[in-house]
Each structure stands twice: as structure tokens, then as C-alpha cells.
Structure 1
Amino acid sequence: MRIINEDIVFGPALLDAHHIESTVACYPRIILDEKTVERVQKYINYYDVAPQKGKILIDSDGQWFLNYLSTIFKYYTECNNEYEFERVQFGLLLKHKQKIEELLFEYKEDIRVWDKYVWTANYHNYFCDLHFPGERDLKISRKTLLSWPREISNGDF
């Protein structure tokens, strides 16, 4: 049963999305359900260069998810030249990097939330390595992403 009007959208796809979000998506990512993955695989196999290919990634746990950082490439049509396009991309990625670093610091004591930002930082770094290799200023330092144990000191009591 599907219900669609000006105020509500409800149906099997929404229920599937809720189920995946509540049971599988432990990181801040939009995961594709099995039916959608099958459809995407069909399209990727059909086209020589599938438009979906760069917009979806497969995570280390095998889940397919939307590559939201790929949206920075849409700004090309709004730029006057390639230099401006690259400047816009760098600016967006630097803002993304800075926000993640800020939130990693803010939540360093809340490991459940901090871990989500570590995932996001690793995704960010992967994207930068893939599309902007050698641009170290765009990447989040690995040192920021590690949680090291420490010895007890007098101030801990």
C-alpha cells in the first residue's frame, strides 16, 4: 500500500529505508537496499560507462552507499572556467574537512558519536585520494583519527 499526497509519502520503499537505517547503518551513510543494489548492478552491467558508478561506493562491510561527496562535481556547469571549478571543489572539501575535524574534537569523549566522525573522515580522505591525489591539505590527519590509551596520572583521580 502506498500513500502519497502533499503532506505524506508512505509505502514499501520508506519501510525498507527505515529498516536499513535502524538495523544496518551504524555510520552516517545512506545505504541501498538489496533490491536497489540489484537494479544498480543491472544498469552498471548494461552501460559501458554507467552514470551511477561514481555516485555509489561499497563500504568495507559490503554495504553499497551514496557517495555524497561526488556532488561537488555538479558545480562545473555553474563555473566560468576550469580554475574556478577546481577552486570551488577545494573550498567545499576544505569546509567538509574543517567541520569533521571540529566534530572529532567536540565528541572525542563520546566514543559512539566520535566513531561516526572517524568513519566520515576516512570516507572524506578516500574521496580526496581518489579525485585529488597528492593534495595533502584536503585530507584529515591520521593522527586525529587514532585513539591512543594513556597512563594514569594524578590529575585523573
Structure 2
Amino acid sequence: MMRTVCFVVLCALISTTSQARSSIKTPLPNPDFKINSTNHQNEGTCSFTVRIVTSCSSVPYTRDQISLSFGDAYGNQVYAPRIDDPSTRTFERCSADTFEIYGPCTYEICYVYLYRSGYDGWLPERVEVYGSNTRAVSFDYNGWIPGDVWEGYNYCSGYAVRSSMK
């Protein structure tokens, strides 16, 4: 009887925890996503540490061009073009790569997108963003990034982020 009660409580806890997360559980392609070239306020004044974990199921390494963008619901966007470096074998299978990226200061980061261009393919496991003025966030990918389209998560709400991406 006690095992049954523990099992029911455990299932309820898992269910509640799962429902507390956003309804977006996998990254989605966003062909409408645009880099905000007009937001230069405080550009380069804040530093962010981005850690990208490449899945053990990925290709041994990729020569593809990888770019990253993340930001907040107020239109503050950090853009890092070409974070790949084939000469150092960035994004090798079963590895974690850390980048120091500078950009405009943000409030809570609520979206992240990756862009891949090339023929090798790449399967990131997770993207973590740490900023000095914002709490750390983590986005699980665990899927192949399609070519030539931004793919990621957008947990932002409100008019500001939608209008800045158009």
C-alpha cells in the first residue's frame, strides 16, 4: 500500500513539474526571425557566457557555419555571427564549447535561436546563457538543426519582442 501511495505521489509530482514548464518542449524553426540591426543601445557593454553542449549522437565535428542570437522581451538582442571555428574543431561530438559574447545589456533572456549553414549537420544538446545582469537560462535542443533557418525557443510574451523581430 505504501509503495502505491509513493508511486502516485511521485507521478503527481512529475506531472506538476512537467506542466509548470512552457508548452514549447522542442525548438521550432522560425523563418520570420530577423536580426535586430536597429538596436544599438548599450551595444557591447554587457558580457555573456554561452555554453553549447553538442550531443554524442552528432557528427564527429562540423564545418558548418553556426550563429547564435538571444534576447529579452524588450527588444534587446545579442547576436553572435559565426561562433564556429573549424580549425579548432568546435562543436565536436560529446563536447561543450564556451563563448564569451558581448552585446547590449538585457533583462531576463527569454529566447534563443541557432542558425546553421553548411552540409555536415549538427546536433546540439543544450544551450546555456549566463549574464552578469540576468539569471542563467538553459534551452534543450536534442535535435538536428535544419540548414539556413533560425531554430530555437521563444518564451517571451508581449508586443516588444514580436515587433523587434519583424
TM-score, normalization by structure 1:
0.22
Compare relative contact order (CA 8 Å, sep 6+) and give the higher one, 1 or 2. 2
Q: Taking structure 2 as the reference length, what is the TM-score of the superposition? A: 0.22
Larger Rg: 1
